[in-house]
Amino acid sequence: MVDINKLENDARTHALKAVDLDSKGKSEDAVFFYVEAAQALISVREELISDQQQQQSKTTSSSSSSIDLNEIVRLIHNYIKRAEEIKASLKSKPTPSLHLKNTSEKGVERARYLLTQALDQDEQKQYEAAFKLYEEAITLCLNEKKTTSNTKLKEQLEKIAYQALERAEELKHTELNTSSHIRLPSPPRDEIIQKEEQQPLDIDQTNINIIDKRAKLSSHELDVLRRGSKINGRDYVPFFSIDLRERFAYQTPFIDSHGPLKLAPKQQTHFLRWARPDEIMSEPKMIMALSYFSIKQDLISDCSFVASLAVSVQYEKKFNKRLITSIIYPQNKQGEPVYNPCGKYMVRLHLNGVWRKVIIDDTLPIDHSNRLLCSSTTNKNEIWVSLLEKAYMKVMGGYDFPGSNSTVDLHALTGWIPELVSIHHADSAFDKDKEFDRMFERFHAGHVLITVATPNITKEEEERSGLVSSHAYALLDMRKIGVHKLIMLKNPWSHLEWKGNFSDFDTRNWTPELIKALNYDPKLQVDVDNGVFWIDYNSLCHHFENFYLNWSPSLFSYTSCIHNSWPSRQGPVKDLYNLGDNPQYVLRVSPKTRSSIWILLTRHITERQDFAVNRIFITLFVYKNGGNKVYYPNDIKPLQDGVKTNSAHYLVKLITDDNDSNGQTLYTLV
């Protein structure tokens, strides 16, 4: 449920920050926070109007706001107006010189971070690790003190060294001295091996005995996961709780042993060098203020990935639940990702069956103007988008990414269940109205993340419509106002917008009632090209090709997962004639009521050609045949007839019906 008070507090915080930055002459940052304050107030207004409509003009105490609607509208217009005034003034001013930290200042920052990490380890009773970090902090302070003549920096270094030395001496004479044994980290728990009890759903292989419960993964499954760790020649091992103790602090900036990523052709054209954030930013920060408006794609063909980031941010802000920011490390005690002056980061991605750890350094490609040649945000000092993209591109083989779709990307980022809904495909039973109602309800309940994609269109169509050919867009909002069904989309490029019905250029369809209901005045937006626009649902279904949905696993009370391998030489050609060698499973269902069951088949990606060339096809057949093995495809008609796809995921959705006399139904999955 959306917390209106949280949105109002966000608006107040952003507005105060904007005014403060504005008064200090930090114009670009002020623009960002003015826009964020306005956007938060727009969300407050929308929720208040929605509540008033539902409660017949009675707002519940949990949704009350200290600002009335007219005041909200006034503030929104004032913030947007001031942001536009600053933008206009910036165009006529020369770019101010950038103050970058010198080598000694960076050394102080690393020393302070070493001390912080040591204190954290100390607090967790990891005394050996803490002692080592204290020692390194002291050494770094002494070395940096020799190289700087700045009195203020010397004082800071002395203070850090004193704090580290004082606590290190205490440890030496207490905890470390009294230890009767060497303190080593505990081995990881069997987080991969152990399986949760699965009732009332049980899945098992038909060529073995039917098994009611499996407490652990088999040795074969563990081997499958082990082999799945090797992706594009590099190992990405499963993520264990012990990895939360990953070391991030070093005396010298961390360098990824795998070396720099391969650049995309467009990057190579402009590339100057690899640079760390503190070499091109005055005050690097992981996140200044989480915003889907600020995210922008650059020279890499990863529109689906950037769109995935945008919808994840929209979810975090709307439902106040960490989704995308929770996968970036290091984190502070509040679980928020933080900037690391030592340059090492860890990203947790769901790859090949489990969550896995991806280690990167913070070097990023730049051009001769110190401009980033990768996705980023409009906030000059913010790095979270660039780091997440780098981690994902590392796994995928480099920045020369051949492209993907958002269900694949979001599954890797969030673990949410992927579903493709084709709008125009010949085999698609697309019910436009029914699909909108389903998405609308689930979207506003926080159950699904949605992106959309265009088909391959001509340059003339691009120019006429304002849409980009074969391009992914983030779905940020859905509204029903009278007979109108409207959807807000974002182009990951952060420019180029829809030119048709309900665009900023549309003078026919926008009525005063709609403008008021959406708090969106197209006349004010004509000169603002940020890639965000409204489009009516009918136009979307006409001009777009697919909906990409990722569903929250929390929708399901029970889950089960099996890991297996099947050599591609055994299929898929042979299964045209004989299914006897295909992996087959029995699905036993014994629900007390009519239930929904989703079965997701996921193909492991081990090398670039697995997704770049897409020559391997997968599918899943479901037979309601008492759990018997299926040998020939034409012997019995399947309950669900699979359609082969070269995607990494294939989803089957079942609705259970009446059980047999034993109170259960058996399905065969092939």
Return the active site residues.
303, 471, 491
Grouping H, G, I as helix, E, B as strand and the rest as coil, residue 404 is coil
φ, ψ dihedrals at 445, nearest 5°? -90, -5
Residue 373 CA from chain centroid, whole number: 20
Q: What is the DSSP string of 21-90?
A: HHHTT-HHHHHHHHHHHHHHHHHHHHHHHHHHHHTTS---GGG--SS-HHHHHHHHHHHHHHHHHHHHHH
Helix/strand/coil (H/E/C) assignment for every residue in 565-632: CCCHHHCCHHHHCCCCCCCCEEEEECCCCCCEEEEEEECCCCCCHHHHCCCCCECCCEECCCCCCCCC
Token pair 């979307």 in the structure block, residue:
540
φ, ψ dihedrals at 615, nearest 5°? -95, -5
Contacts for 151 with CB less than 8 Å, ≥ 6 apart = none
User: Residue 261 corresponds to which tokens in the numbers above?
Assistant: 């990523």
| Bridge partners of residue 474, in order along the sequence | 451, 490
Residue 195 CA from chain centroid, whole number: 26
| Bridge partners of residue 256, in order along the sequence | none
User: Residue 326 corresponds to which tokens in the numbers above?
Assistant: 């929770």
Bond into 330 cis (ω within 30):
yes
Nearest to 399 by CA among 209, 271, 584: 271
Residue 340 CA from chain centroid, whole number: 20
Grouping H, G, I as helix, E, B as strand and the rest as coil, residue 312 is helix
Measured N-to-C along each axis, helices 69-91 and 27-54 cross at an angle, to the nearest 10 degrees, of 160
